Structure 1
Amino acid sequence: SGNLDVRLGFGLCAEEREFLWKRKKHVAAALKKVLNLEEDLKDHEVPVVAITTTGGGTRSLTAMYGSLLGLQKLNLLDCITYIGGLSGTTWTMANLYEDANWSQKYLEDAIKEARKQVTKSKICCFSLDCLKYYYNDLMERTKEGHNTSFIDLWGLVIESMLHDKKDEHRLSDQRQAVDNGQNPLPIYVAINLKSSYSAQAFREWLEFTPYEVGLLKYGASIRAEHFGSEFFMGRLVKRLSETRICYMQGMWSSIFSIDAMYVWNLAADSEDFWYRWTRDRVKDIEEEPFLSMNPYEVDTCLFTPSNVLSSTLRDVLTGRPTIAQYPNFIRGFQMHNKYLESEGFSTWKGTACFSVTFLGRCKTDFLQNSTSPFHKWNKWKPDLKSISVLVCLRGEIEFGCLGIPLDQIAKYISGQGIPFPRIEISEEDRENLKECYVFEDADSPHAPTVLFFPLVNDTFTKYKAPGIERSPEEMPEGKVDVSSILSPFTTREVCFSEENFDKLVKLTDYNVLNNEKLIIRALRLAVARRKQRNY
């Protein structure tokens, strides 16, 4: 595939291999300091530690900041090689990676900026000026040749929620934050679906890094800046401008599991805000069906005369927007008749396997299975990304029980032939969550040690810092509701009070700090296993 614009193969791209070589130097130095090692680690002795996160809108954005702050306080950020995100955690990651040296700086400054954006009123996102900006930007995007959908509008809303001005950053711009190995490599994920099949029957993982965008199943990747351009038979036939990061965030997000109007009416604390805004200014609004007969049908562009701008945007908002459309970069390829026998090819047990030409457009849906944090790592074989320690930062409300079926996930991943520890969870743990769970397999040196941090308020209710109890006056600060349906941190809440933002950051920061011993133990074990492998 040397002369093609699509890279074919299941190995890492040259840029990522170079990143790993450089990152090892940072990780080795950090581990020597954290673990109090007497000698420098050799290259093969340096474990790969990955952070994986789950979605949850503004809650997961905020919780991730707190968890990363805790890791930074423990001098562990430099021990991390990869950070994976979806939905709200991609908002955190995209903000952080605007700074080429973010992990080398104290995160309090970044958290202060996030606090400012999270706590501001979101009604401003639907001001007349913002609506005109959305319209003009979508029209410009259409003129450039891109398909546009509601998800693009949602991306612009995210931009307004998290920034005070237009964000010009692109995914490829994040290379400056990793080219010297100074930060972990960010990985964003999405799901590719076919409109004629359910998500349970057909789903394929797309991986986005500053270097490449790849269809994991087929071992096909393109340069990050080429995502959205048109390809045929492995060649770039129509190059379009690189998509701004806000549009990517709209695609990576999964907040729209319910009607957008419902979300925003609740978020703005005004049941009829949007309804009144449009009705006061527009006459004879055509009544459209609440949902399309085919949920996979979306307009390819947004077009309206300027004098009915609000009517058009209102019509767009009242659907159930779940699909973003991008050109399929493996269009025109033919499957080899023995492709299924390829060592790197994964049939992804439990989903349909297509050995015919894949000619459809890429429809990326975030509502199906996107909350599982483990799937994005399960294509990596031990000789590729070789994860030694997997730190799962779960940003979802558990509603009093272990909501994620870890044991089922372990069974699924093991079924793909990928080493993974057995997950055994007692009924007591399912009912009363701990701050951290450790899963490991002593009999499988290639299986990663999994550190699982659910979003839970356990000892934080009584302790303001590890080992330091709260005074009677400080007890209210430990009351952080992350487990009930009345929680102020549900996914539909896109605006937090300053008090609630601070509480969630402090809680997730504390949960990491309070489990320092478990993290250090996992790192020691990973180093020991690497030394035993001796290669």
Structure 2
Amino acid sequence: CRELCCLEVEVAEKTKQKSSKKELSLTVKGSFEGTQDIVLGPNGVVNPSCPTEFHYIKYAEPTLDVMLPKKRRYHPWSCRYSTETGSPVVMLNSLPMGRKTTIAEVSITSRCCNCSCHQDLDMRFGFSLCSEEMAFLGKRKRYVASALKNVFHLPHDLQDQEVPVVAIITTGGGLKSMTGLYGSLLGLKKLNLLDCITYISGLSGTTWTMANLYRDAYWSQKDLDTHIGEAQKQATKCKMGCFSMDRMKYYNKQLCQRKEEGYRTSFIDLWGLMIEYLLNDGKDPHKLSEQQEALCDGQNPLPIYVSVCVRDSYSTNDFKEWVEFTPYEVGLLKYGAFVRTEHFGSEFFMGRLLKKLPESRICYLQGMWSSIFSVNLLQIWGLSHSSEDFWRRWTQDRIDEVDEDPVLPTRPHELRTRMYAPPGPLSSALRGALTDRFSVAQHHNFLKGYQLHNSYMENEHFCRWKDTVLDTRPNQLMHNPDQLGMIDAGFFINTSSAPLLRPQREVDVIIYLSYTTGSHTSALDKACKYYSEQKIPFPTISLTDEDKKNLKECYIFQDSDLPGCPIVIFLPLVNDTFQEYKAPG
């Protein structure tokens, strides 16, 4: 079983008084705290006075490295001083649990607890929906059933099992997608279809619309003209104010405060503060978890904000992991690992919340969801050319198959033997130049210290999201970095559909709203190909080249022969029939 141990280290106050200050450095590699310093002050005072704690994994054979204060010795034969340091090492597993052990002037006490039981963790592991979302779905069905009865003039009330789950997915595109989503929601409202929607998912600019709407706990039950008028005012105001001296001072103050709270700041946080100015008249105090108020009675669709997690030295195509944000939870879809929304950004170790940080204001999340500064050269090349395969070979590890095809079938979690060839200097330099991103939002990894089970690939839900190169090398897959690097999901596929295709959500109909600049079918084609490779039910997109050149306002795609496949209603933002008339109607 996995055991989380807590080590308490206490330095005894010295009776011999000295006037100088010295530092004692303590390190437990692989622990939550890493390295901590103890100041040996004058008059024998020790700071901090309370015991220093380390949280570590017992089975990892941990050691306590003690870096003693430096001592200066005078050598008369050379007329020089030399500095000597000592670094004793203590094997922690050799210490008796629950008992104090004294080593010189350092007292050590260790205790452990069993962390193999998921019920005892501060995280949720599993692919099922959380209890809050399940409760919301029960309440939302009443709104959906009533709306469908009125729209289709049904003679009787729908039973719970007859109520379909209808979801909206969007594409990103800055202010265009923000205003486009306002217009689409207004159209659904006028058609009395807005109450038929159970989920709304967004990325990039559409998250701006969603975040603004969900400040109002009953926005979908009201006239949207007020919200649209406010958005129009903010979108058309002068943008130069975000570069004023007063605004710069505000940015600096907010970033310093965020750093003091325990967050790692980056340019993405500054971008989030600029978005705050562009979308509001003043400071926006709202937080994502506060949107639960807009879901308490099932009165609005459940919002899902989408991002992807990336890693250094890997292109987005080679490594990306879907991350969903709801007012209830934030989670990595691939591993079925979720934390409470108010705990996202706090520091976890082995599934336990060890350092609670204040919840981020939503503007910082908007900066991450719509980060235009996380692009790299490889993606720029892909946008300007039809293929990036030539450059991608410089960004991938060279792996050669060693085993021949096995005679007997292998188990799903068994991997074939491969030979890994490390990159040379030229390849490493090119890889860095092509994959480095200008800035990435950094958040504490809530999977830190948590080891995946060695048979993780047996899980059918995990296999649905087995789409990164690190899946072929479990030693790298299981290594969880201290920070999660997150970027705009549009840098992979410009669609927010991934969370809605979780089989547990049982989505029957998807309304696909496309506001993208350029080809409206490009993201849809990429999504269709991606889900086909992942064996996730999704209808085949059958559009001819002529159709793509002259898009209509609506298409319906379905595959009745594929179990669990939703119906996709594709609504690209095009001006086809309306351009023949001077006014609608």
Alignment check: 8 A CA contact 1:48 1:387 kept: yes
1:33 to 135, 144, 150: 150
- The CA deviation at 1:58 is 0.7
The one-letter code sitting in structure 2 at the alignment partner of 1:368 is: F
Higher relative contact order (CA 8 A, sep 6+): 1
CA distance in 1, matches of 2:465, 2:499: 12
- The CA deviation at 1:296 is 7.8
Instruction: Give the structure 2 partner of residue 422 of structure 1.
Output: 540
Number of residue pairs the alignment of both structures matches: 408
CA distance in 2, matches of 1:410, 1:88: 22
| Structure-2 change in CA distance of 1:349 and 1:228 (3 Å) | closer
Instruction: Give the structure 1 partner of residue 487 of structure 2.
Output: 365
Q: Any idea what SS the aligned residue of 1:213 has?
A: strand
- The Cα offsets for residues 122-159 of structure 1, whole Å up to 9 and x where unpaired, read as 00111111111001000011111111000000000000
- The Cα offsets for residues 417-473 of structure 1, whole Å up to 9 and x where unpaired, read as 32221211012111111111111123335211101111211122234665x2xxxxx
| Structure-2 change in CA distance of 1:368 and 1:408 (3 Å) | closer
Instruction: Give the structure 1 partner of residue 339 of structure 2.
Output: 222
Q: Any idea what SS the aligned residue of 1:387 has?
A: coil
Instruction: Give the structure 2 partner of residue 507 of structure 1.
Output: none
CA distance in 1, matches of 2:213, 2:452: 39
The one-letter code sitting in structure 2 at the alignment partner of 1:396 is: T
The one-letter code sitting in structure 1 at the alignment partner of 2:474 is: S
Alignment check: 8 A CA contact 2:334 2:466 kept: no
CA distance in 2, matches of 1:405, 1:119: 29
CA distance in 2, matches of 1:12, 1:257: 31
Alignment check: 8 A CA contact 2:313 2:432 kept: no
Instruction: Give the structure 2 partner of residue 205 of structure 1.
Output: 322
Instruction: Give the structure 1 partner of residue 312 of structure 2.
Output: 195
Alignment check: 8 A CA contact 1:192 1:362 kept: yes
| Structure-2 change in CA distance of 1:413 and 1:296 (3 Å) | closer
Gaps of 5+ in 1: 260-291, 298-319, 469-535
Instruction: Give the structure 2 partner of residue 329 of structure 1.
Output: 446
| Structure-2 change in CA distance of 1:113 and 1:459 (3 Å) | same
Instruction: Give the structure 1 partner of residue 173 of structure 2.
Output: 56
What is the TM-score of this pair, normalised by structure 1?
A: 0.73
Instruction: Give the structure 2 partner of residue 307 of structure 1.
Output: none
The root-mean-square deviation of aligned C-alpha atoms, in Å, is: 2.0
Alignment check: 8 A CA contact 1:190 1:205 kept: yes
Please say if 1:460 is aligned against 2:583.
no
2:132 to 15, 34, 44: 15
The one-letter code sitting in structure 1 at the alignment partner of 2:193 is: L
Alignment of 1:241-280 (within 5 A): 241-256=358-373
CA distance in 2, matches of 1:14, 1:226: 17
Gaps of 5+ in 2: 1-117, 377-430
2:515 to 378, 395, 398: 395
Instruction: Give the structure 2 partner of residue 375 of structure 1.
Output: 498
- The CA deviation at 1:350 is 4.3
CA distance in 2, matches of 1:229, 1:47: 37
- The CA deviation at 1:294 is 6.5
The one-letter code sitting in structure 2 at the alignment partner of 1:431 is: K
Structure with bigger helix share is 1
What is the TM-score of this pair, normalised by structure 2?
A: 0.67
2:459 to 330, 342, 366: 342
Alignment check: 8 A CA contact 2:556 2:570 kept: yes
Structure with bigger strand share is 2
Instruction: Give the structure 2 partner of residue 233 of structure 1.
Output: 350
| Structure-2 change in CA distance of 1:199 and 1:222 (3 Å) | same
Alignment check: 8 A CA contact 1:423 1:439 kept: yes
CA distance in 1, matches of 2:435, 2:352: 28
| Structure-2 change in CA distance of 1:197 and 1:443 (3 Å) | same
- The CA deviation at 1:348 is 3.1
Bigger CA radius of gyration: 2
Q: Any idea what SS the aligned residue of 2:508 has?
A: strand
Q: Any idea what SS the aligned residue of 1:417 has?
A: coil
Alignment check: 8 A CA contact 1:349 1:415 kept: no
Instruction: Give the structure 2 partner of residue 94 of structure 1.
Output: 211
- The CA deviation at 1:233 is 0.3
Q: Taking every aligned residue pair, what percent have the same amino acid on both sides?
A: 56
| Structure-2 change in CA distance of 1:28 and 1:228 (3 Å) | same
